[in-house]
Chain A
């Protein structure tokens, strides 16, 4: 009977088996992409990736989006769950469960990437009998993708948390807690890492929704553009260099702004603008976070939700007047197609955090196709109207154009003020906005507000422009209805108390 003590469940895959089989290795790689889109192995919930918080609230993209939007002058949420309102008030602390959620998702993803990279080294593959050159070559490419996804999440960590725990594939599982890396050292690591994988990744626009060289360049541009914040040293010329690589590839602005945010944005001309995306699907990729959250929570009040291809609004998100005011003349006199605000029954200003009727609604995303058909799991198509087909554009060409212009205006070489203006105006012209006669650095922040709101860039942008903690007020900032300055240390989020208690190597960010 002693042999009975070794019970191996047959319905799960043993690591030894998985990493012997190129098909299962691919499924393991694809799982790394999935971390951004789902929250566990049974969409929309069940078999969760992390514990301690609901799958819906803690989903990676949802929390990344919320931190970038709610902590900035863009978004506000009426819900009163736990300490959620502390994000909108910029009064969070190390025990905030939503900060913990994004922190845990980021490091969950990095841990998963490390495991994949660890298990697919040439040595390990050979020891498991994968010696075929083609297969090994393909898996080497997978590893580069895994390293890109790891770099992407490390960038999120670097941007939001500063000095963070660090481990790569050379560490072992279950061992001692990882050391803390400085923000500057992590920057260098990411720079080296992305440059190292650049030649191995597939060329830009080889395949949709795959981490390719274009995604790598876009991320390097982001890193360099924010280098001064991250390391104290500006790297604007490098930002121009990598933005140029994107501009030189075959990306094309979508003919219409709205196409970027529709259910068929993977299939229309919009996909030529998209550099890296988080795909969602009403039937196959389900979550109550991610895109379904961004769309549902933005709807409510008198908005007819069915027009947006979902079964109803969740009455949460509104936009702060700061962004609305960037569109001069709205709601009347603006030709800018990007002003997708819904005003009926809503006030422009916000004095009460929890009153959904305060603040305009954002109707940028629609779970209908460019020809007006509802998404695949809309009620009209036999679904329940909870899930959506809109792929979330993480990096897109317009963003890179604006980054390119900004890097030049910040003193980067590799272009002129004229090319900077041209890139900005290309973006403006696409949406029917009047071209600018000239462009200054401060114009870029406003233009990014107009072009990229509701796309999770704002917090990082405000910090880079020095307008996050001070010099820029928004409703509820600092816990005051009319807003007030906040301490500079809040440009970083605190490392969650849960990890400080689990890892003696960690030091809290100053101020918390």
Chain B
């Protein structure tokens, strides 16, 4: 259905107007009509086409058109002309009779300007917006097999970097807006789904709680980026706000059914290049020691190909949309069955969605009811096999008849001479997969009722009430066979886990719209109460046969469950003042109180102010034919962050130890009580954002877009910091310390390349340049303190967060790295940890998105291409695959590069050297979609569309691993992102 709609420039609302049921049609008729502009002057050259057909005409000098041979039935005429908003008009053609379409007025292309934009607590006209806001509607979404909502806008919004955790069905994503304003606290944006701000908490058994929302139900995704737009969400807004709006019925619309089915096959696009069994044998025989040689087998096993499979997916949605009497509604059900590339990994999702949007009391009471329910059955497989398969000895078989392996299910494993498993060695990847059953059932229900009531007696005053809930349940079981080597020592696993999330929302605001000094004023003030409950259950740790291996330990209050609550209580307000559609003022103010902090520290104040000057409204541009829109925006504001994953960290509490951490004193074992680190001074971190934006439109709106320049300074970072010895009850904890800055530029351009009767081509492009820099981290500026080191990465003052901290590799005359030779940067004759240097950052300096939609008659083509440039990746897969001198009785496979470099026996220095730091720049063809509209071939007024999509068709990169798109920057084996081919069929009637 989406692909069947004609390509129209600008962010249009998707069409919900469908042909209505037919009235006894027989043959065809002539449709004619007249088109005028806002001043009632005739409009020549307007293209009028009959939707879903190739029929059409162009208006003459009098603005008149005539289309012969239009089949009988109800049709939608689409009027389009350069510089004017596209209009859609319904006509009914009766047998042989000419039809006069109603006189149609085309407005100047104010479409994009007058369109309602979703903002925090309400909507605004696009032309009135003073903040940095980007909306992506369903037409522009990434197409193909999309399982989780955030993937719909990947590459579509400047300033937003979305990185999936890998290719597993329902995998989570890292979403970073404008470089991320936090360090230890969450960098996740706030998601608001149909007016319900949802929790950031993960759910046990769900790779990604967002995947419980069916992307097929989503109408638009709006990203609020600068403080002028986000500050009304206060203490949760520092990392941006993403507002998800689902599809809804419209008043007066006929009931229409849509059924879509989509079938995909996914394959592994690339494997990690490791040695074959023969190559490996050759290497070990030539360079290994006798102990290693004795371990060699005779097989040629490609472990990576052994654990993956072609994966099939079917994704189906049926929806009914329309209005029943005065009640517009939409109801949908969805069924997704998605296989992962990894064997035994799949996801089944059932979703239901209902929205009712009646308007009562003569339009004075608007009601919006949203109900979503979903159920996912996950089968996770054992994803540790992904990494194990890369390094497992290729000279060994998958299974063996040798009786030594019989206790392990016949799978080959590394054994000691006495037949026992070698400790601390890798386990057979196929055994990991086949002898484990890791399943979960997760459910989510999200719903709310919004009442918007225009108060009588006071014109312009309305009251809004929003009551909502978000309930999630995660349940899962893990079974590992007693013969699985991975859990052989403890005779398998038979365990369960369980988690509940219960979130409640109550919001109320009042709004006044009126005129002050002759200009438009909007005032809004509201209240919000939110409670996020997170309950975990404790179970016995059991062996495969169900016997208790380690009994559960009850909590301090002798329960087998424990609950954390976060409560947010807020007051917010906004003022919009519009002077002559030229000078626009916005001010917001929010007061937040959070239960995460002590009473004296919990109240936060978050102001913002913005001014926009709509130059197009000035006399000198009003009549300008080239410039169709020009608006300069200046914004300033403060937002907060309080999400550190710890509730009540300000309270002095003690934790009771488990039964396995008891202590013997005087002949008796005790469960011990440990006082925890606490910080009564803890408070929110503050980000101050400065934003300058320019919205432009040229050539009657054929070229539109925006330029944004911003700086975001975060201070009082909620930093998980070292604390001085003896000053608290651990060596580290959350302090408000340090600061960081993000600076950036964002460019967006949408261009209608061709607007024609048959051919329409539109392109959109966005570019993001962001520089993240830590400006302070410690209480004391100590020259010897390099920063917070985390493996091969570091948070250090003056560098982007997570920069690489590595040794400088030395090379010989031929340019080959010299084994175990790194530069003595300290020049003290000793090579150690201090000889590392702060190198590149994993953060891309440039993020590009490029998309296009084109249609020619009934055919349409769309693609999304995106690129991250300038980020570096530490290839831990390469550095981890070296010729181990260890004699613990195992062999590990190696990267094929060893055939050329002969590097072996790395010590820890080379393994952490910049030799393994690679440029992670890439360009990925996210999706290409080809669609064809058959029109009403399956019955009168029906629509039938066929789409073929390919995702991840190519990845251009110099990176030597399988995929450089890794959010942490450290490649330690990633579940491959699939290359997916999808066929979809949509039928509407």
Binding site for B on A (CB under 8 A): 1-2, 4-15, 18, 24, 26-28, 30-31, 33-34, 37-38, 40-44, 46-47, 49-52, 78, 80-86, 91-97, 103-104, 107-108, 110-112, 114-115, 164-167, 171, 173-178, 206-210, 266, 279, 281, 283-286, 296, 300-302, 304-306, 311-315, 352, 354-357, 379, 382-386, 391, 479, 497-504, 508
Contact = CB atoms under 8 A, between A and B. Distances in A.
B781 to A, nearest CB: 8
A103 B832 contact: no
A210 B667 CA distance: 9
A202 B176 CA distance: 59
B595 A5 contact: yes
A300 B420 contact: no
The majority secondary structure among interface residues of chain A is loop
Interface string B587-618: 00000011100010010000000000000000
A11 B556 contact: yes
Contacts of A166: 726
B656 interface: yes
Contact of B657 (A42, A86, A209, A503): A42
Given A12-B556, A386-B489, A174 B681 contact: yes
A207 B782 contact: no
B908 A312 contact: no
Given A28-B673, A306-B420, A107 B725 contact: yes
B782 A497 contact: yes
Interface residues of B, number: 98
Q: Which of A12, A52, A91 has the most CB of B within 10 A?
A: A12
Interface stretch (B18-26, B441-449, B562-570): B562-570
B785 A38 contact: no
A502 B673 contact: no
A8 B559 CA distance: 16
Contacts of A301: 887
B672 A28 contact: yes
A379 B675 contact: no
Contact of B784 (A94, A311, A385, A504): A94
B670 to A, nearest CB: 4
21 contacts: A4-B567, A12-B556, A28-B654, A30-B665, A33-B665, A41-B674, A81-B908, A86-B833, A93-B834, A111-B726, A111-B727, A112-B674, A112-B675, A174-B678, A285-B663, A305-B416, A311-B423, A356-B887, A384-B489, A502-B727, A503-B779
Contacts of A386: 489
Interface string B534-568: 00000000000000001001011101001111110
Nearest to A114: B726
A312 B424 contact: yes
Interface in B921-957: none
Contacts of B676: 12
Interface of B: 291, 416-418, 420-424, 489-491, 529, 531, 550, 553, 555-557, 559, 562-567, 569, 593-595, 599, 602, 647-648, 651-667, 669-676, 678-681, 720-733, 778-780, 782, 784-786, 789, 830-834, 885-888, 905, 907-908, 911
Contact of A31 (B674, B681, B726, B786): B674
B665 A210 contact: yes
A382 B675 CA distance: 34
A185 B651 CA distance: 35
A5 B594 contact: yes
Contact of B886 (A112, A209, A354): A354
The majority secondary structure among interface residues of chain B is loop
Contacts of B651: 8, 14
Nearest to A107: B725
A286 B602 contact: no
B653 A314 contact: no
Contact of B654 (A4, A15, A83, A356): A15
B461 to A, nearest CB: 25
A7 B420 contact: no
Contact of B675 (A28, A165, A304): A28
A83 B908 contact: yes
A41 B317 CA distance: 48
A207 B654 CA distance: 27
B675 A15 contact: yes
A107 B731 contact: yes
Given A10-B557, A178-B727, A42 B663 contact: no
Given A38-B663, A41-B657, A504-B780, A30 B833 contact: no
Contacts of A356: 886-888
Contact of A304 (B418, B681, B887): B418
Q: Which of A83, A176, A284 has the most CB of B within 10 A?
A: A284
A88 to B, nearest CB: 12
Contacts of B556: 10-13
A301 B651 CA distance: 50
Contacts of A81: 908
B830 A91 contact: yes
A108 B680 CA distance: 19
B844 to A, nearest CB: 28
Given A95-B786, A207-B667, A313-B423, A284 B662 contact: yes
Nearest to A207: B666
A39 to B, nearest CB: 9
Nearest to B598: A6
B780 A51 contact: no
